[in-house]
């Protein structure tokens, strides 16, 4: 009896693109996992001490800050978006885009400017004393500037454009039919907004508010300057002042929990609020012209957040920069600018290239693991910079020490800190923090390329790398350039991760602004702040162009 040979099924090995995509995803997610691991297994467990002393205060203050900023940003952003989308009034065409300008001002710069403008020696209180003949602060009452309320005001003014941008897009997409039906049933202007416009736009508004609240958790410069103790300032305090990395990781894990909770709530709210346009002939709602007093009230209402969020801080900082022109020639300023360009530019290039490799690798791969890991890599953008600092610096320091000890034992030469003693850790933090921006741009750009083009190239003998460079890249060049700019600008403005991870005696523009302003030397901080604002304006211009 002859034996029949059974074919042996050969195991298909994953391609280099799949392996590379998995490695990139693991690197991006690793700092978050490291934070949780350090928090669960600290060398010195101070969790009971934190629960009985400072953690409740940090948590309560952070919650008040989050909800205060979220509420004000929701009201301002939604109201402004409704006005520019539904009405025509003097200056509307300009204000529609000018309302995005506060995104160019980092919140900590706005905090420095507000204190300088409203403090006892500032122009407002000085003018009041001159006008009414008051001699000292005992003669009149003035609200406390360095307070939680002021921090909420500054962060709201800096962050409301996130809500405004998403709400305006949602209001634009709404059909005129629903407006006409509501008007025929006797609904007034407020009724149409409250019963039609707002419910239809609620998912977009919820997404914007979630971003605002996550950015509020991430903030360090503003709350530190206003002496407001939040979870982020607690990370710095426990780690740098108490020298307890495990306690800092435990506080960071609480921050991560809040961030994940916000993301989940936002997803749930959008899933439960879905609306569809069933009409085959969609007509956008027409703007109603306003005249007389209502027109100027609308103009004033849209101008106020612009004035508080951009005109005031930019004007104060520019005034100091012009009055202290000698600081523009300070070599330390230009060293900080060069450091910013090097680390920000390196991080932007590495992040965008890694994102393109990841997205392309996932598209080529038939494996489930890369596809499952790809959405997880966006969590870095939601994680605050201080949290990433904990998750990156502690493991890298351990690796650094192990490598140095091994080299010392083998050669007798001490190489020093190769990773944490250089800008490597800082660049890695930027890449993890802003990977979601590059990944989103790359995924959207590749999604617009017809599948027939790469298939035709492969049929002509081109390999995967040649298809990427010859087909995809020319068609997604504009998106790649936009992603590079956005990531670079966010790196320029990032403060918490930079403070934690920068090498000794290494300044960037953001840290220079923070350190000089913390010493009440706003004149020295102004040139660096102007440079940061100019970078931010470039990103806002790109954002406005993309959302025409």
Same domain, 260 and 402: no
Residue 423 has what DSSP assignment? T
Q: Are residues 96 and 238 in the same domain?
A: yes
Calpha distance 435→50 (Å, rounded)? 32
Tokens of 418: 């190769």
**Domain check: are 120 and 81 in the same one?**
yes
User: Which tokens hold the place of 262?
Assistant: 């916000």
Residues 230, 345 share a domain: no
Long-range CB pairs of 542-545 (<8 Å, 24+ gap) are 542/482, 542/485, 542/486, 543/100, 543/103, 543/165, 543/486, 544/97, 544/100
Domain CATH for 387:
1.10.3720.10
Which residues, other chains included, contact 209 with Cβ-Cβ below 8 Å and sequence gap of 6+?
A: 70, 73, 74, 163, 266
Q: Is residue 38 situated within a structural domain?
A: no
Same-domain check for residues 391 and 444:
yes
One domain, residues 308 and 423: no
Among residues 512, 535, 533, the alpha carbon closest in space to that of 524 is found at 512
* Per-residue pLDDT at 287: 79
Residue 359 sits in the same domain as residue 397: yes
Of the listed ranges 2-11, 104-113, 477-486, the one predicted with least confidence: 2-11
Q: What's residue 278's pLDDT?
A: 47
Query: Residue range 350-365: average pLDDT?
Result: 88
Token digits for 417? 């800190």
Quick one: 329 and 313 in the same domain? no
Number of domains in the chain: 2
* Domain assignment of residue 202, yes or no: yes
Q: Is residue 3 part of a domain?
A: no
Here the tokens at position 52 are 């009985």
128 and 233 together in one domain: yes
Q: How confident is the model at residue 3 (pLDDT cuts 50, 70, 90)?
A: very low
pTM of the model: 0.86
In a domain, 176, yes or no: yes
pLDDT tens digits, 46-104: 788 888 888 899 999 999 999 999 999 999 999 999 899 888 889 988 999 999 999 88
Helix intervals (H) in 412-521? 424-433, 435-447, 452-459, 464-467, 473-475, 477-493, 496-501, 509-518
The predicted-structure confidence for 275-308, as pLDDT tens digits, reads as follows 545 444 555 667 788 888 889 999 999 999 999 9
pLDDT band at 187 (very low <50, low <70, confident <90, very high): low
Q: Which residues constitute the domain of residue 64?
A: 46-274+289-319
Q: Look up tokens 């392996």; give the residue.
A: 19
pLDDT at position 282, please? 54
The Cα 194–Cα 368 span in angstroms is 44
> Within this chain, do residues 306 and 387 fall inside the same structural domain, yes or no?
no
Same domain membership, residue 507 and residue 368 = yes
Same-domain status, 397 and 312: no
More confident: 412 or 423 = 423
pLDDT band at 149 (very low <50, low <70, confident <90, very high): very high
Characterize 435-457 residue by residue with b for buried, 16 or more Cβ atoms within 10 angstroms of its Cβ, and e for exposed: bbbbbbbbbebbeeeeeeebeeb
Average pLDDT, the chain: 84
Please report whether residue 7 resides in a domain. no
**Residue environment code for 361-381, b if the CB has 16+ CB neighbours within 10 A, otherwise e:** bbbbbebeebeebbeebebbb
* pLDDT 10s digits, 6-47: 444 444 556 777 788 888 888 888 888 888 888 888 877 778
Q: Note whether residue 10 is domain-resident.
A: no
pLDDT at residue 394, rounded to an integer: 84
């Amino acid at each position: 009896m002859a034996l029949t040979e059974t074919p042996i099924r050969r195991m298909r090995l994953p391609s280099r693109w799949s392996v590379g995509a998995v490695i990139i995803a693991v690197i991006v997610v690793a700092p978050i996992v490291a934070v949780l691991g350090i928090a669960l297994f600290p060398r010195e467990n101070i969790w009971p001490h934190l629960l009985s002393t400072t953690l409740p205060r940090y948590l309560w203050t952070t919650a008040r800050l989050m909800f205060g900023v979220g509420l004000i940003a929701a009201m301002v952003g939604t109201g402004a978006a409704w006005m520019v989308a539904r009405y025509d009034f003097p200056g509307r065409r300009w204000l529609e885009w000018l309302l995005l300008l506060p995104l160019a001002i980092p919140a900590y710069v706005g905090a420095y400017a507000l204190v300088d403008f409203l403090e006892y020696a500032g122009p407002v209180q000085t003018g009041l004393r001159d006008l009414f003949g008051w001699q000292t602060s005992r003669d009149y009452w003035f609200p406390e500037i360095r307070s939680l309320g002021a921090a909420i005001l500054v962060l709201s003014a800096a962050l409301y454009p996130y809500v405004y941008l998403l709400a305006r897009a949602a209001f634009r997409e709404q059909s005129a039919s629903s407006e006409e039906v509501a008007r025929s049933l006797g609904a007034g202007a407020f009724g149409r907004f409250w019963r039609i416009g707002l419910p239809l736009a609620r998912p977009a508004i919820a997404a914007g508010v979630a971003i605002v609240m996550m950015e509020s958790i991430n903030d360090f410069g503003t709350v530190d300057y206003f002496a407001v103790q939040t979870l982020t300032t607690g990370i710095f305090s426990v780690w740098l002042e108490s020298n307890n990395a495990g306690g800092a990781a435990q506080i960071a894990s609480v921050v991560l929990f809040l961030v994940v909770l916000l993301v989940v709530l936002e997803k749930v709210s959008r899933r439960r609020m879905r609306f569809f346009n069933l009409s085959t002939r969609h007509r956008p709602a027409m703007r109603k012209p306003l005249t007389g007093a209502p027109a100027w009230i609308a103009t004033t209402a849209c101008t106020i957040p612009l004035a508080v969020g951009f005109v005031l801080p930019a004007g104060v900082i520019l005034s100091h920069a012009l009055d202290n022109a000698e600081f523009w020639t300070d070599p330390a300023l230009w060293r900080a600018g060069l450091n910013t360009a090097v680390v920000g530019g390196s991080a932007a290039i590495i992040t965008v290239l890694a994102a393109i490799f990841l997205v392309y690798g996932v598209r080529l791969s038939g494996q489930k693991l890369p596809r499952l890991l790809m959405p997880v890599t966006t969590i870095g953008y939601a994680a605050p910079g201080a949290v990433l600092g904990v998750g990156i610096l502690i493991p890298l320091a351990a690796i650094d020490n192990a490598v140095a000890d091994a080299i010392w034992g083998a050669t007798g030469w001490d190489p020093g800190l190769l990773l944490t003693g250089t800008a490597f850790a800082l660049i890695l933090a930027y890449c993890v923090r802003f990977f979601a921006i590059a990944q989103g741009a790359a995924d959207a750009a590749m999604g617009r390329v017809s599948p027939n083009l790469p298939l035709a190239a492969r049929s002509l003998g081109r390999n995967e790398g040649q298809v990427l460079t010859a087909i995809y890249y020319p068609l997604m060049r504009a998106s790649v350039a936009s992603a590079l700019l956005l990531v670079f600008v966010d790196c320029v403005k990032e403060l918490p991760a930079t403070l934690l991870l920068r090498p000794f005696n290494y300044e960037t523009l953001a840290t220079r602004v923070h350190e000089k302003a913390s010493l009440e030397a706003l004149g020295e901080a102004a040139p660096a702040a102007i440079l940061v604002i100019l970078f931010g304006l470039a990103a806002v211009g790109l954002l406005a162009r993309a959302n025409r």
